[in-house]
Amino acid sequence: MAGVGFQKLSVGWVMALCAMALVACATPKREAAPPPRIPTIVVPTSVTRTPVMADRPLPEGCEMIVPTEQVAQAIGQELPKPTEIIGIPEPSIARTGKIDCYHGIPAGKGLTDAILVIGVSTFADDASAAQRIAESTESERRDGAVVTDVEVGKQRGTLLSTPVEHILIGSLGKSTFVVRAKAGLLPDDKLPAVMSGFAVQSMTQQIS
């Protein structure tokens, strides 16, 4: 009888072990955690050029100073190509070259009626260019213009304001720039920044 009891006990243990084995086999295996993602760094293949003002040679035309399309977008007006005036050298003030671009001349009107003028001049040396700006500033001041020192890119310029127009002038090396805008062309709080942008572009040699 003891042998029978032991046999029953053994059979019971075997059945219990089998049941545990079946449960273990039925339990789904946990998947291994995926490896951590390594971020991909994309190296830019092109270089962005930032406009840099420079003592540039006299531009060959108005489109090489400030393109007409850029002027039109800045002031919010459709514009035809500007009237281009090439100045002759003036030895008395050491000026070696000059180009002025007259934008937005009304039909039947003259150069003085242009809504915007952008010009660049070159001189024999740095001192002559700086002297020309100083003399122009003093002349406008005597005529009643309000004179303000302003930023033009990383350079400085002089804003001359009168009831009829605003004039931004400055020199860089042997070159000078001028931007003249009729009063009311843009709101007074926006006009100086737009004029400064034109001045920077006029002194930035375009790279194709």
- What is the pLDDT at residue 29? 53
Read out DSSP for 113-169? G-SEEEEEEEESSHHHHHHHHHHHHHHHHHTTPEEEEEEETTEEEEEEE-SSEEEEE
pLDDT at 4 exceeding the cut of 50: no
- What is the pLDDT at residue 51? 62
Tell me the mean pLDDT in the region 32-38.
Answer: 55
Answer with the residue of higher pLDDT: 117 or 54. 117
- What is the pLDDT at residue 52? 77
Distance between alpha carbon 106 and the CA centroid of its chain, in Å? 30
103 and 117 Cβ atoms separated by less than 8 Å: yes
Give the Cα separation of 167 and 136 in Å (integer).
10
pLDDT at 56 exceeding the cut of 60: yes
Tell me the mean pLDDT in the region 155-173.
Answer: 97
H helical segments located in the chain = 2-26, 68-75, 126-142, 191-202
- What is the pLDDT at residue 39? 43
Of the chain, the percentage scoring pLDDT greater than 90 comes to 70
Is residue 148 very low, low, confident or very high in pLDDT (cuts 50, 70, 90)?
very high
pLDDT at 208 exceeding the cut of 80: no
In this structure, of 30-39, 70-79, 119-128, 146-155, the range with the lowest mean pLDDT score is 30-39
- What is the pLDDT at residue 30? 57
Domains and CATH numbers, the chain: 62-202 (3.40.1000.70)
Tell me the mean pLDDT in the region 99-112.
Answer: 96
- What is the pLDDT at residue 195? 97
pLDDT at 44 exceeding the cut of 50: no
200 and 66 Cβ atoms separated by less than 8 Å: no
102 and 117 Cβ atoms separated by less than 8 Å: yes
- What is the pLDDT at residue 34? 59
Mean pLDDT of all residues belonging to the chain: 83
Give helix 191-202 / helix 68-75 axis angle, nearest 10°.
170
Is residue 108 very low, low, confident or very high in pLDDT (cuts 50, 70, 90)?
very high
Give the Cα separation of 202 and 48 in Å (integer).
19
- What is the pLDDT at residue 2? 46
Cα dihedral 192→195→200→206 (10° resolution): 150
Please write the tens of the pLDDT for every residue from 6-33: 444 454 544 545 455 444 444 455 555 5
